[in-house]
Amino acid sequence: MRYGRVLFALIVAAIVALILLWIVGVEVSFAVAWGILGGILVASWQPILPDDPRADAPVVEVGPARRGTQIARMAWSINSRTGMAGALITGRARRLLAHRLKRVGVDVEDPEQRAQVDALVGNGVWDSLTGRDTTRTDIERALEAASRLSPTQEKK
């Protein structure tokens, strides 16, 4: 609470109490004292709350489109016993890698650029994402290749 508000509350309470007590017939100095006490009580009833740190936080959607839910679903699409990756995570890794390759000017759909794809992401990585038996290791290799192709990756 700011000092201006406290001072304003004290003055208003003192004036109101002064007028009410004067109308009742109390002596002026006694009415002023009660008015100041009333102002102090009014000022102390207003709680002092710090600014809420969440006030300017972004709104996070709650529901099936939430990112945490997608990550959990992708994590469950890898069979921990066999190491086989499901279609959900394989498709996500394939789309990510195709997007990163397109940024550097390589089209994964063009058969003539297959040698460039293998040179950039590693031999057989793209083929392992398009086949049926994609493993956890294949996903890890694809994600490593995507991070190497990231535009925010520092050049060493």
Q: Which domain holds residue 8?
A: 3-45
pTM of the complete model beyond 0.85: no
111-121 pLDDT, tens digit per residue, is 898 899 889 88
Does 82 share its domain with 132?
yes
pLDDT for 52 equals 63
Q: Where are the alpha helices (DSSP H) in 25-135?
A: 28-45, 67-76, 87-103, 114-121, 125-130
3 state DSSP class of 135: strand
Q: What is the pLDDT of residue 65?
A: 54
82 and 142 housed in the same domain: yes
Could you tell me if 106 and 120 are in contact, meaning their C-beta atoms sit under 8 angstroms apart?
A: yes
pLDDT band at 92 (very low <50, low <70, confident <90, very high): confident
Residue 127 in domain: yes
Angstrom distance (rounded) from CA 117 to CA 106? 7
Q: Are residues 35 and 84 in the same domain?
A: no
Q: How many domains does the chain have?
A: 2
Shared domain for 121 and 82, answered yes or no, is yes
pLDDT band with cut points at 50, 70 and 90 for residue 70: low
